[in-house]
Structure formats: C-alpha cells, structure tokens
Amino acid sequence: MNVYVDRVGSPAGELAFAVDEEGALAALHFVESDGGPDMEEALEYEGFQVLRDEEKTARPREELREYYAGERREFGLPLAFVGSEWQKAVWLELTRIPYGETRSYGEIADRLGSPGAARAVGRANATNRLPLVVPCHRVIAADGSLGGFNGGLHLKERLLEHERRVLGTVPDGTA
C-alpha cells in the first residue's frame, strides 16, 4: 500500500505526516519528539511504500497550516485509524474535546462507559498515530498535571498554550 508523506510547521515544531491513497491521514509525527523511530522508516517497516506527491498531501498540509495560524479549530480530514476497537473508541472521543479545553483520562473513560479505565485511556493515547488532529494533547491527569505525551511534555505544553493563546485565554507575549 502507498502512503504519501510531507512536512509542515506547527506550534510544536515541524510535523511529518502521511496520507493513504484515499487521502485519509494515516500518520502524523512531531519531528522534534523525544524519541521513537523516524515516521518514514516506521511506515516502511510496516510494509508501506513511502512516496511524495504534493497534490495528495495538499489538504492535510493546508488544514495543519490553518491550525498553526489559529484559523482552524477542528479538522475535517478523513482519518485512517489502525488499532483495537477500544483504541478507536478512545481516539474518536478525543476528537470531541473542544479546542482549547482539556479532559482527564478518567473523564474520557467515564464518557466511554468504562469508569476506572483511566490507565487504558492513557495507553490508547500513547498509541495514537494521529496526535494533534486526534488531540491527545488535550488529555491531562485528574490532578491537573499534564500526564504523558508521546512527543514529550514540552510539545504538549506548546500545543495547549497555542490553543489558549488563539482563544485569548493567555497573553501572547507581544506588546
């Protein structure tokens, strides 16, 4: 199967992303993340043919650019979820968290009808291949701390700060 890769800037640094033949977002990776394999290498390891085609990647590139510019608060991209039914349910619930807001892992578990499954929600977040678009950065610990983030907590904080700045709930630092 073919995937088409591209890169775009974001509030958390450069993003690498891939779309499938139908244009669904298949992977998104923070280039500045705290580890893990390179997205293209990981996709090749999984058996994908990695190609470049700016026409195929135009829509996600534009939606991600709009998010970065503060012009987009919801993504309209088709998403290629690959995971268990539980993971897919968690990821879908994450897409319902409004821009600039947060929910705890426990709140997500409760919304899915699985009280007490906060750790399972956290594990699903950790395997989210579409961070930012499936906004796992908006999920925090019950005590208000950031919890974890696949790309590193510094990136999670940057994304949350970006959304608060766009909403006008934090100063932008300019005079």
On whether both 102 and 152 belong to a single domain, the answer is yes
Kindly state whether residue 138 falls inside one of the protein's structural domains: yes
Express each pLDDT in 155-167 by its tens digit.
Answer: 899 999 999 999 9
Distances (CA, A) of 19 to 37, 88, 94, 124, 126: 18, 18, 20, 21, 20
Q: Which structural domain range is residue 9 located in?
A: 2-68
- Active-site entry in 97, 109, 132, 136: 136
Is position 76 within any domain?
A: no
Domain shared by 111 and 141, yes or no: yes
- pLDDT tens digits, residue range 46-66? 999 999 999 999 999 999 999
Task: Show which of 13, 41, 68 is a domain's final residue.
Answer: 68
Residue 37 belongs to a domain = yes
Q: What is the CATH number of the domain that holds 150?
A: 1.10.10.10
Residue 174 in domain: no
Please indicate, yes or no, whether residues 18 and 92 belong to a single structural domain of this protein. no
The average confidence (pLDDT) of the chain is: 91
**Is the separation of the CB atoms in 134 and 87 below 8 Å?**
no
What is the structure's pLDDT at 154? Answer: 87
89/58 same-domain check: no
User: Final residue of a domain: which of 14, 41, 68?
Assistant: 68
Q: Is 136 a catalytic residue?
A: yes
Q: Which is it for the CA torsion 26, 60, 75, 100, positive or negative?
A: positive
In a domain, 75, yes or no: no
Contact predicate 40/16, CB 8 Å: yes
Residue 162, Cα to own-chain centre: how many angstroms?
Answer: 14
Orientation angle between helical segments 85-94 and 118-126, nearest 10 degrees: 90
Q: Which residue has the tokens 């991600």?
A: 64
What's the half-sphere exposure (Cβ side, CA atoms, 13 Å) at 79?
Answer: 19
d(CA 144, CA 160): 13
pLDDT tens digits for range 97-155: 999 999 999 999 999 999 999 999 999 999 999 999 999 999 999 999 998 887 788 88
The per-residue pLDDT for 34 is: 60
Number of residues written out for the chain: 175
**pTM as predicted:** 0.89
Q: What's the structural domain count of the chain?
A: 2
